[in-house]
Amino acid sequence: MARTIRVAAIQAAYGQDTAANIAKTAELVREAAGQGAQVVLPPELFQGPYFCVAQEERWFREAHPWREHPCVTALAPLAQELGVAIPISIFEREGPHYFNSVVMADADGGLLGVYRKSHIPDGPGYMEKYYFRPGDTGFKVWPTRHGRLGVGICWDQWYPEAARAMTLMGAEVLLYPTAIGSEPHDPTLDTAAPWRRAMQGHAVANVIPVVGANRTGFEPWAGYPNGGQLFYGSSFIADHRGDLVAAFGREDDGVITAEFDLDFLATHRAAWGFFRDRRPDLYGALTQGRPT
């Protein structure tokens, strides 16, 4: 009997009320599970508004140790109830250190551990280096009940090295929780299409399904350029060819799902030979900060 996996992406708008945001996400997880999803991916930092648009020290109060985070304590029991795996995006505090993290809740509600975002952006509207240290966990692949899941976080999704590393580690699906939208310094810059294409390329190059879950909606910020941040949604699920098999528009709110045959994908990945024909002996430049 073939091993299959049905994955889902959540796309939603979020406000200031953490409890309401968690409840909304839980409702959408239930909706996805009702459609047969076994893995459900919420967007990045769904606990509240995307606060990294500016440097405000008050937001540090919203971070928690990963096992105690309210998103985790609410959604891990739901994962057990529904029998689904949920990568839970959080603002994590570990002693004096702060991270943008994902906690993997397996289908029995058990916590498989934490991944801390490796690539931290810093620019207008995305001032994450003020809040987050670079991740110290390395990339993670989680052996969940439903399959081996590799999870990167937002800016990680632009790096082919991260996708390749997780696939080499045995990932069967790659998932990217995201918060991305308008660029306040340049209102004419729209990255929605290249955002998708970057991850579709990971799917092709690694012969692996890719799921991107983004938030949507306008989040106002007083005194901020253009009045706030408009998130462009466009969440999607791509197959091993990079083709979109499920996708949202910019303003949709809900869940999308798709099913994949993991045994077929393993055979197809081997047949393409991308991993057979790799030449790590030639890739030294990738591990040097400033290749000569």
The residues that are catalytic are: 44, 117, 154
Give CA separation, 66 vs 70, 92, 109, in Å: 9, 6, 15
User: Which of 78, 70, 10, 1 shows the shortest CA–CA distance to 235?
Assistant: 10
Angle at 94 between CA 88 and CA 100, to 5 degrees: 40
User: 145 near 85, Cβ under 8 Å?
Assistant: yes
Give CA separation, 158 vs 120, 249, 268, in Å: 11, 20, 24
Give SS3 for 132.
Answer: coil
Q: How far apart are CA 13 and CA 4, in angstroms?
A: 30
Give CA separation, 122 vs 70, 127, 128, in Å: 27, 5, 6
> DSSP letters of 183-221?
-TT-TT---HHHHHHHHHHHHHHHT--EEEEE-EEEEE-
